[in-house]
Amino acid sequence: MSEQFAIGEVEVVVATVNLSAVRSFRAANASRSMQAANRTLKYPRVQLAFSLSAEQADFDYSSAVPTQPIDPVRLHTPAEEINLGPACWLWDYLRRSNQGGFFLPLSGGIDSCSTAVLVYSMCRLVVDACRRGDAQTLADVRRIVGDDAYEPGSAQELANHLLYTGYMGTQNSTAETRDRARRLAIDIGSYHVDLRMDTVVSAIVALFALVSGKQPQYAVHGGSSAENLALQNIQARLRMLLAYLLAALLPWTRGKQRSLLVLGSANVDESLRGYFTKYDCSSADLNPIGSISKSDLRKYIAYARDHMELPILDAFLGAVPSAELVPYSTDYMQTDEDEMGMTYDELSEYGKLRKIERCGPYSMFVQLLHLWKDKRDLSADQIAAKVKRFFFYYSINRHKMTTITPSYHAETYSPDDNRFDLRPFLYDSRWVLQFQRIDDAVEKIKDANQDSQ
């Protein structure tokens, strides 16, 4: 049986087919035979002196017997599909692109961690193929690495040639994320750089202060929301610039000729919600996790920890997701779920209802009333507020979907972008009619509850 996911260009599967069994199966459909017999236009049957098999094959018992159906069919688990599908996609893109590998901004969070592990999975598949004697894969490896005599000894060794990772920290970054990124890079074998970019951030802020005569401040230091957001976006967008600079020149520092493809790490939930900075380091050449939800990524990392001998992944599973773009204070700690106003599990449900079920605000509200009836202790008022919050941010951030990085699309739950979603990318964020219908439904539910009491 052919592999469902493989890095080879071509796989040939040979089967012996019993044509008599095919004719028998088709004839077993009586209704189709009756319809054919009732057709007024008759098609004559013409006998040809031609056969798809040797003339003596019907009577030669030494020839191959018909191939039997595969039972049971081997189906991959979702975690296995995540581990194999993007890995094959990355290798196919790399060997066709004439580049020397990948550069990945490694933040110490679970998203960039997942992307790094997928590249490591790719390296494992490539090394296994070379060990099996796959001449084409070995030739591709040697061409990409730039060494005609190179023989990959292990996935870590190959990753040191193909994967470059960089932790781009600031004064707002924590020692925990820095250490997680460093330890993961060691375990998977990537060529890792660790830098602080505070001088670059300060230079941009100083330039603005020189032009405007005003000094923006973070919210924890008394600044407005506009100042706070702008200071965060400076850090995020500088990471994209640094990522492309490092992708262009890091191989040169090691005596290599080719540049690198930059990898992004924005998951599908955050893309639909718009919880990322436009043209930050989510803007890249490829995004292998672009159609994978946060909850599925967590399951995948747990799978990789157990099946790929990467105990460091436990630290990522236990970490609280945070962008680390504002100063830490005793009164405030920046976390993704607090900033979004919803949990990642909730966000996955909203995203699937919107993208797969095509729900608008009112139909999503009605569905969640039933879906959360026994799971969550939430009133109709609270569900209505959550739905409204999601659709407000969904609509004001839709413009980001027109510029997202090309992603690996594994299922129908993928980012709506300008290639796959023809709906308008600009919505009225007030949703006047839909939100009014939700409010009317909430009032009816309240009246019904009062009557029942």
Residues 6+ apart with CB under 8 A from 361: 387, 388, 391, 431, 434, 435, 438
Residue 91 to residue 8: CA distance in whole angstroms:
10
Q: DSSP readout, 176-219?
A: HHHHHHHHHHHHHT-EEEEEE-HHHHHHHHHHHHHHHS-----G
For 41-190, strand residue ranges (E) read 102-105, 163-169
Two tokens, residue 61: 């018992």
Specify burial of residue 444 (Cβ count, 10 A radius: 0-12, 13-18, 19+).
exposed
Look up residue 70 and give its amino acid. I
Specify which residues 164 forms β-bridges with: 103, 191
Binning the chain into helix, strand and coil, the percentages to the nearest 5 are 55, 5, 40
pLDDT, tens digit only, all 453 positions of the chain? 578 898 988 888 888 777 778 878 877 777 766 666 666 677 788 888 877 766 666 666 566 677 777 777 788 999 999 999 999 999 999 999 999 999 999 999 999 999 999 999 999 999 999 999 999 999 999 999 999 999 999 999 999 999 999 999 999 999 999 999 999 999 999 999 999 999 999 999 999 999 999 999 999 899 999 999 999 999 999 999 999 999 999 999 999 999 999 999 999 988 888 899 999 988 999 999 999 999 999 999 999 999 999 999 999 999 998 888 999 776 677 888 888 889 999 999 998 999 889 999 999 999 999 999 777 888 999 999 999 999 999 999 988 888 889 899 877 787 755 556 666 778 899 999 999 999 999 999 998 888 776
102 SS3 class: strand
Two tokens, residue 193: 């750089």
Residue 212 to residue 413: CA distance in whole angstroms:
44
Query: From residue 300, how far is each of 18, 107, 109, 164 by CA, in Å?
Result: 42, 18, 14, 22
Give the torsion sign (CA, 338, 344, 346, 350): positive
